[in-house]
Amino acid sequence: MNRLTQSTQKLRRISSQEVDVSGEHQNFLHDIIFEAKSLLQVDRVSVWLFDDMHQPTKLLNYANTDWQDVPAQLPVLSIDDFPVYFATIITGQSIAADNASLDPRTSEFTDIYLKPNDIATMLDTAIFKNGIALGVVCCEGRTDVRQWQEWEVAITEMVADCCSRRLLVHELYQMQQKLTKMAFQDMLTGLNNRRFLMEHAKREMSRHQRTERPMSLIMMDLDRFKRINDDFGHDAGDKVLKKFAQCCLDVVRVEDCFCRLGGEEFVVLLPETSVSDAHMVANRLCSATRDMEVRQENALIRVTASFGVSEVNPSMPFSHALKMADQAVYRAKANGRDQIQLAC
C-alpha cells in the first residue's frame, strides 16, 4: 500500500468521526491539522479563513498546531501586505513553494515572517465552500528547503476538504442555534416567548414537585396600550414594549423566567417563591412601571400596568396557573388598573 493510499484512509477515517462543533475552530479542527502535521512531516499546520469569502481583505488564523491556547487576538494577514499570495489562494491554486523565500507566490513573507521564524518551505492549499475559496490550509517546514511531491500536494488538498466539511457542520450548527433562538424568542423585546415559557414551566414544575418547594407566577398587562398606538403610532408602542421589558428585567432575578406572551401581555415565572413573596415582586414591578418614561419626538409617554399573581401547583396543568393569573389581571383592570390582584 503506497503512502498516498495510507494517508487517504487515515484522513477519511478522521473526517467521518463525529466531533463537537459548538466551540472554537481550534477544537473541532485539532485532529485534522495534527494528522496533517504527522503525515507530511512538517513543523506547523494552520488554518486561515477569509474575513469575507466574496470580497476578502484579510486572512485570520483560527487553528494552529503550535497553540496550546487560542490567542485572545487572532493572527491576521492583510491582502494589502501580501497581494500575490492572496490572489493565488483566491483562484484556488495550491502553492507548493519548495523554497518559500524564492517562490514569487510566497516571497512576500520573507522579511516579515519567513526569516524571523526560520520557515524555509510552504505547502498551502485553498479551503472551498460552494466552489469559492473560504480560506487556506498552510503547512510549513523549518530550516531546509524541500521538494514537494505530488502525493503530498494531494494529501494537503484532502486535508483542506476535511476542514471544509467540519466548517460546514459548524455553520449548520450555528444556523440551528439561531433558528432555535428565533423559535423561542420574541424578536421585538429579546425576551423569551410563550413557547419557551411552556417548555420551561414543564421542567420547573417537575423539579418543584420533587422538592415540594413553592413556585409563583406574575402576569402583567400594560394599561390602555391601544391608546398609545393610536395617539403616538406603532413605533412609539414598540418603544414602550421594549422599555417595559428592560424595566422588568432590572427588577426580576436571573433565575426567574420573564417572557412576553404576546401583544402587551407579559409573564414572569418565579421558582422557589411563595405567593406573598411574588406579591412583593409585583409591587416593585408595578412601581417601576409607574416611574418609567418613554420619549417619542416631543411627547413624554408614561404607562401603568395591571398585575395578577397566582400560585403554580405542580400537580395541576400549568395552564391552570396562567388562567388564574389572567383572571386576576382582569379584576385589576376592572378595579381601575395600575394595581395588583391575587388569584382567588
Provide the annotated active-site residues.
264
**Residue the block writes with cell 408614561:** 302
Nearest CA to 245 among 190, 197, 287, 194?
190
Rounded distance, CA 80 to CA 174, Å? Answer: 31
Enumerate the H helices of 185-307 as residue ranges. Answer: 194-211, 225-232, 234-249, 275-291
Instruction: Quickly count: other Cβ atoms within 10 Å of residue 167's Cβ.
Output: 21
Nearest CA to 140 among 25, 61, 79, 74?
61
Nearest CA to 165 among 3, 6, 31, 2?
31
Bridge pairing between strands 299-302 and 293-296: antiparallel
8 Å CB contact between 278 and 270: yes
Rounded distance, CA 307 to CA 331, Å? Answer: 9
Where is 184: in which H helix or E strand?
A: helix 150-184
Measure Cα distances from 45 to 218, 252, 314 in Å.
56, 49, 56
8 Å CB contact between 49 and 60: yes
3 state DSSP class of 36: helix
Rounded distance, CA 326 to CA 93, Å? Answer: 66
Tell me, what amino acid is at 123? L
8 Å CB contact between 193 and 184: yes
